Amino acid sequence: MSVNHYQPHVFVLPEDDANRQIVNGFILDLNLNSRAIQVLPPAGGWKKVVEKFTNDYASTMRQYPQRMIILLIDFDEDKDRLIYVKHQIPDDLKNRVFVLGVLSEPESLRRDINKSFEKIGEALAKDCSDNTNELWEHDLLTHNKTELVRLISSVKLFLFNLK
Protein backbone atom coordinates (compact mmCIF):
# COMPACT_ATOMS: atom_id res chain seq x y z
CA MET A 1 0.00 0.00 0.00
CA SER A 2 1.29 3.43 -0.90
CA VAL A 3 1.41 6.43 1.42
CA ASN A 4 -0.17 9.80 0.70
CA HIS A 5 2.87 11.99 0.12
CA TYR A 6 0.97 15.11 1.16
CA GLN A 7 0.03 13.73 4.59
CA PRO A 8 2.49 12.93 7.40
CA HIS A 9 4.17 9.62 6.64
CA VAL A 10 7.30 7.59 7.36
CA PHE A 11 9.60 5.75 5.01
CA VAL A 12 11.77 3.01 6.51
CA LEU A 13 15.04 2.25 4.73
CA PRO A 14 16.38 -1.06 6.11
CA GLU A 15 19.99 -2.14 5.77
CA ASP A 16 19.24 -5.78 5.02
CA ASP A 17 16.56 -8.44 4.93
CA ALA A 18 16.70 -9.12 8.68
CA ASN A 19 15.89 -5.47 9.38
CA ARG A 20 13.16 -5.56 6.72
CA GLN A 21 11.56 -8.54 8.46
CA ILE A 22 11.60 -6.65 11.77
CA VAL A 23 9.82 -3.70 10.12
CA ASN A 24 7.31 -6.07 8.53
CA GLY A 25 6.50 -7.37 12.02
CA PHE A 26 6.20 -3.80 13.29
CA ILE A 27 3.62 -2.87 10.66
CA LEU A 28 1.44 -5.85 11.65
CA ASP A 29 0.45 -3.98 14.84
CA LEU A 30 -3.31 -3.50 14.76
CA ASN A 31 -3.00 0.04 16.12
CA LEU A 32 -0.71 1.07 13.27
CA ASN A 33 -1.97 3.30 10.47
CA SER A 34 -0.57 1.26 7.56
CA ARG A 35 -1.28 4.10 5.11
CA ALA A 36 1.27 6.27 6.93
CA ILE A 37 4.31 3.99 6.63
CA GLN A 38 6.18 2.50 3.69
CA VAL A 39 9.01 -0.02 3.87
CA LEU A 40 11.62 0.51 1.18
CA PRO A 41 13.72 -2.31 -0.31
CA PRO A 42 16.83 -3.27 1.71
CA ALA A 43 19.85 -1.18 0.74
CA GLY A 44 22.47 -3.91 1.16
CA GLY A 45 24.66 -2.55 3.96
CA TRP A 46 24.72 0.37 6.37
CA LYS A 47 26.92 2.49 4.08
CA LYS A 48 24.48 1.85 1.24
CA VAL A 49 21.62 3.02 3.48
CA VAL A 50 23.44 6.32 3.94
CA GLU A 51 24.29 6.51 0.23
CA LYS A 52 20.73 5.70 -0.86
CA PHE A 53 19.33 8.25 1.57
CA THR A 54 21.64 11.05 0.43
CA ASN A 55 21.38 10.23 -3.30
CA ASP A 56 17.73 9.18 -3.62
CA TYR A 57 15.63 10.37 -0.68
CA ALA A 58 17.06 13.64 0.65
CA SER A 59 15.82 15.59 -2.36
CA THR A 60 12.33 14.05 -2.25
CA MET A 61 12.10 14.88 1.44
CA ARG A 62 12.49 18.52 0.49
CA GLN A 63 9.75 18.04 -2.08
CA TYR A 64 7.44 16.41 0.51
CA PRO A 65 7.82 18.25 3.83
CA GLN A 66 5.47 15.80 5.60
CA ARG A 67 7.88 12.90 4.95
CA MET A 68 10.09 11.41 7.64
CA ILE A 69 12.53 8.57 7.20
CA ILE A 70 13.98 5.93 9.48
CA LEU A 71 17.42 4.64 8.53
CA LEU A 72 17.41 1.13 10.02
CA ILE A 73 20.99 -0.10 10.31
CA ASP A 74 23.15 -2.59 12.19
CA PHE A 75 25.59 -0.78 14.45
CA ASP A 76 28.01 -3.76 14.42
CA GLU A 77 29.21 -2.77 17.93
CA ASP A 78 30.52 0.53 16.51
CA LYS A 79 29.70 3.29 19.02
CA ASP A 80 30.70 5.99 16.50
CA ARG A 81 28.43 4.81 13.69
CA LEU A 82 25.48 6.95 14.80
CA ILE A 83 27.68 10.05 14.85
CA TYR A 84 29.03 9.22 11.39
CA VAL A 85 25.56 8.63 9.91
CA LYS A 86 24.12 11.78 11.50
CA HIS A 87 26.94 13.82 9.96
CA GLN A 88 25.77 12.65 6.52
CA ILE A 89 22.26 14.02 7.04
CA PRO A 90 21.76 17.54 5.65
CA ASP A 91 21.02 20.11 8.37
CA ASP A 92 17.64 21.05 6.90
CA LEU A 93 16.46 17.41 7.20
CA LYS A 94 17.93 16.39 10.57
CA ASN A 95 14.65 16.81 12.44
CA ARG A 96 12.89 14.37 10.04
CA VAL A 97 15.55 11.65 9.80
CA PHE A 98 15.93 8.99 12.50
CA VAL A 99 18.68 6.39 12.82
CA LEU A 100 17.79 3.19 14.67
CA GLY A 101 19.11 -0.35 14.82
CA VAL A 102 20.49 -3.23 16.83
CA LEU A 103 23.79 -2.49 18.61
CA SER A 104 25.38 -5.54 16.98
CA GLU A 105 23.11 -7.14 14.40
CA PRO A 106 19.51 -8.42 14.35
CA GLU A 107 20.65 -12.04 14.41
CA SER A 108 22.17 -11.49 17.88
CA LEU A 109 18.93 -10.00 19.19
CA ARG A 110 16.96 -12.89 17.70
CA ARG A 111 19.22 -15.39 19.48
CA ASP A 112 19.10 -13.47 22.78
CA ILE A 113 15.32 -13.29 23.04
CA ASN A 114 14.47 -16.39 21.01
CA LYS A 115 11.93 -14.65 18.75
CA SER A 116 11.68 -14.41 14.98
CA PHE A 117 12.49 -11.08 13.36
CA GLU A 118 8.80 -10.54 12.68
CA LYS A 119 7.90 -11.19 16.34
CA ILE A 120 10.64 -8.75 17.39
CA GLY A 121 9.01 -6.10 15.19
CA GLU A 122 5.59 -6.86 16.66
CA ALA A 123 6.96 -6.48 20.21
CA LEU A 124 8.67 -3.18 19.36
CA ALA A 125 5.44 -1.81 17.86
CA LYS A 126 3.48 -2.91 20.92
CA ASP A 127 5.97 -1.06 23.13
CA CYS A 128 5.47 2.08 21.04
CA SER A 129 1.68 1.95 21.00
CA ASP A 130 1.42 0.97 24.70
CA ASN A 131 3.96 3.55 25.94
CA THR A 132 6.17 0.78 27.32
CA ASN A 133 9.82 0.00 26.74
CA GLU A 134 10.08 -3.70 27.50
CA LEU A 135 12.00 -4.77 24.41
CA TRP A 136 13.44 -1.32 23.71
CA GLU A 137 15.28 -1.62 27.07
CA HIS A 138 17.17 -4.72 25.88
CA ASP A 139 20.97 -4.30 25.96
CA LEU A 140 21.13 -4.49 22.15
CA LEU A 141 18.44 -1.79 21.69
CA THR A 142 18.78 0.61 24.62
CA HIS A 143 21.29 2.80 22.73
CA ASN A 144 18.33 3.89 20.54
CA LYS A 145 16.66 5.73 23.43
CA THR A 146 17.40 9.33 22.36
CA GLU A 147 16.42 8.70 18.73
CA LEU A 148 13.37 6.72 19.83
CA VAL A 149 12.08 9.55 22.05
CA ARG A 150 12.55 11.98 19.16
CA LEU A 151 10.86 9.59 16.72
CA ILE A 152 7.86 8.81 18.90
CA SER A 153 7.18 12.48 19.58
CA SER A 154 7.26 13.11 15.81
CA VAL A 155 5.17 10.20 14.51
CA LYS A 156 2.95 8.76 17.21
CA LEU A 157 -0.06 10.99 16.52
CA PHE A 158 -0.36 9.93 12.87
CA LEU A 159 1.30 6.51 12.87
CA PHE A 160 -0.79 4.89 15.58
CA ASN A 161 -4.59 4.85 15.71
CA LEU A 162 -4.90 5.28 19.46
CA LYS A 163 -7.91 6.51 21.37
Sequence ranges of the domains in the chain: 9-159
pLDDT reported for residue 1: 58
What percent of the chain is predicted at pLDDT more than 90? 88
Candidates 3.30.530, 3.40.1620, 3.40.50, 2.60.120; CATH matching 9-159: 3.40.50
Helix axes 106-113, 117-130, angle to 10 degrees: 80
Summarised one tens digit per residue, pLDDT across range 52-66 is 999 999 999 999 999
Summarised one tens digit per residue, pLDDT across range 106-126 is 999 999 999 999 999 999 999
Name the 3-class secondary structure at 161.
Answer: coil
d(CA 68, CA 60): 10
pLDDT level of residue 79 (50, 70, 90 thresholds): confident
Name the 3-class secondary structure at 17.
Answer: helix
- Backbone phi and psi for residue 68, each to the nearest 5 degrees, phi listed first: -125, 160
pLDDT reported for residue 80: 94
pLDDT level of residue 30 (50, 70, 90 thresholds): confident
Mean pLDDT of 92-115: 97
